[in-house]
Amino acid sequence: MTDGVSRRSFLSLAGASLAGAWAGSYLSALAGPDPPSIVLILADDLGYGDLGCYGNRAIRTPRLDRLSAQGLHLTQYYAGAPVCAPSRCAMLTGLQARHGRVADNPGVPLLPSDRTLAELLKAREYATGMFGKWHLGAEGTTGAPNRKGFDHAFGVWDAHQAFSHRLPWLWRDGVLTSTPEGWTPDVLASAAAVWIGQQTGPFFCYYAPCLVHANLSAPEERIAQYRGIWPETPFPGDRLYAPCAEPNATYAAMATWLDECVGRLLDAAPKDTLIVFASDNGPHPSGGRDVALQGSTGGLRGIKNDCYEGGIRVPCVLRWPGHVPAGQSSAVICAAWDIMPTLALAGGAQVSDNLDGIDLMPVWQRGAAMPTRALHWQCKHNQGIRAGRWKAVKPARFNRNTPWELYNLEADVGETTDLAAEHPDILRRILRGVSDA
């Protein structure tokens, strides 16, 4: 949180700004007398094109496809960053990476002053549980999940430890605990489902499985379902990831496995639970898989670590019966930092007006107008800004000689034609609106 730029950088690229009118409804949109239970699910490295409901015809994801059909299917939802830690920070704190505590991978731990969604809901007497990969502070730091609003936390706090999907131990409420024999994704999903079933009042469950992040590994019977669909080049292993004989079949098996794990939580949750599913960033070829061959980016340019669309535009579906339209899609441009205020306000919590995120419920429920604003991403090597139909990208963030690129996403979602030379005035206005770009 180092710059003095307003955390609501509204660009006047099209008509008058709606910021003032929006802020009043944003802060007063509190829940009714019966706040909903909330399940927030964050997949790891799942691409925009990896689910059946987003166009994949080879990888089977029936539970998530059904969730999408029963709820709202978002087509222009963005991760908080093109890498893991700052993306998770953005989702839980409502701040873009340039304003949030955790700005890159690996990140620093959250501090007591960094208010999370779990802390806000806990203050409203929600039971709060976290299951899976944390990556926002090691045990013993101020960023450990039990210090950031979670009554119960079970999983792995360090990203590198999460590379293994057969861990003999996991953190449980500050204690390193041996786990039952078996695969970690199954252990975590079962624990989350049991915890949900034990709740008698409103609860917030944050479920962040390590699937589908490499290491690429899965039970043999799962891999066998996809054997022979794609050509395979065995992965010999490297300094980060273990060898894998069939990377493409294994990745597909992991995606279906993720779908089944999510299904356990859906089955355990009450029917009126507010459920949100998203991914932390785009896909990556780590572990030897072929991202393009399997359609993981959905035809978008770029992968994880990139601020092109393939690195940050990710699947997101939500279901809240009786409150959010069912069986519809939404092309509203939104991002992970909108999740925190949206869910907090749905649960009756009060939120600061010093956030980048906004409450999207009025948009989804009543078709309220969106404010004109800029969405900003940054990574160690590159930067991106979305403003309406326009997208500015700087592929080498700290190289003064690398120019900004400009794309019209309405006409060119694949970001194939750089229009910076043709529309320098638009590029200047975008960069002026985000003055630390």
* Residue 436 predicted with pLDDT over 70: no
**Greater pLDDT, 13 or 336:** 336
C-alpha separations of 420 from 14, 50, 188, 405 in Å:
19, 31, 47, 5
Q: What angle do CA 96, 297, 278 make, to 5 degrees?
A: 45
What would the pLDDT profile of 301-318 be if each residue is shown by its tens digit? 999 999 999 999 999 999
Tokens read off for 357: 């995120």
Q: Average pLDDT in the 336-340 region? A: 98
32 confidence band (pLDDT: 50, 70, 90): low
Rounded to whole angstroms, the Cα distance separating 418 from 374 reads: 19
What would the pLDDT profile of 88-107 be if each residue is shown by its tens digit? 999 999 999 999 999 887 77
What would the pLDDT profile of 111-139 be if each residue is shown by its tens digit? 999 999 999 999 999 999 999 999 999 99
Residue 95: which of 341, 414, 419, 278 has the closest Cα? 341
What would the pLDDT profile of 339-395 be if each residue is shown by its tens digit? 999 999 999 999 998 999 999 999 999 888 888 899 999 988 899 999 999 999 999
What would the pLDDT profile of 132-155 be if each residue is shown by its tens digit? 999 999 999 999 999 999 999 999
Q: What percent of the chain has pLDDT over 90?
A: 83
**Greater pLDDT, 143 or 6:** 143
Q: What angle do CA 272, 360, 130 make, to 5 degrees?
A: 55
The label of the residue with tokens 């409450």 reads 359
What would the pLDDT profile of 383-435 be if each residue is shown by its tens digit? 999 999 999 999 988 888 899 999 999 999 999 999 999 999 999 999 997 65
Question: Going from the N-terminus, what domains does the chain have, and what CATH number goes with each?
Answer: 19-375 (3.40.720.10), 381-437 (3.30.1120.10)
Contact 77, 334 (CB under 8 A): yes
Secondary structure of the chain as H, E, C letters: CCCCCCCCCCCCCCCCCCHHHHHHHHHHCCCCCCCCCEEEEEECCCCCCCCHHHCCCCCCCHHHHHHHHHCEEECCEECCCCCHHHHHHHHHHCCCCCCCCCCCCCCCCCCCCCCCHHHHHHCCCCEEEEEEECCCCCCCCCCCHHHCCCCEEEEECCCCHHHCCCCCEEEECCEEEECCCCCHHHHHHHHHHHHHHHCCCCEEEEEECCCCCCCCCCCHHHHHCCCCCCCCCCECCCCCCCCECCHHHHHHHHHHHHHHHHHHHHHHCCCCCEEEEEECCCCCCCCCCCCCCCCCCCCCCCCCCCCCHHHHECCEEEECCCCCCCCEEECCCEEHHHHHHHHHHHCCCCCCCCCCCCCCHHHHHHCCCCCCCEEEEECCCCEEEEECCEEEEECCCCCCCCCCEEEECCCCCCCCCCCCCCCHHHHHHHHHHCCCC
* Residue 2 predicted with pLDDT over 80: no
Alpha-carbon Rg for the chain, nearest whole angstrom, is 20
**Which pLDDT score, from 0 to 100, does residue 159 have?**
84
The label of the residue with tokens 């035809």 reads 299
Rounded to whole angstroms, the Cα distance separating 112 from 117 reads: 13
- The pLDDT mean for the chain works out to 91
**Which pLDDT score, from 0 to 100, does residue 153 have?**
98
Strand partners, 377: 384
Q: What percent of the chain has pLDDT over 70?
A: 92
Q: Average pLDDT in the 206-221 region? A: 98
Rounded to whole angstroms, the Cα distance separating 347 from 202 reads: 9
pTM of the complete model: 0.92
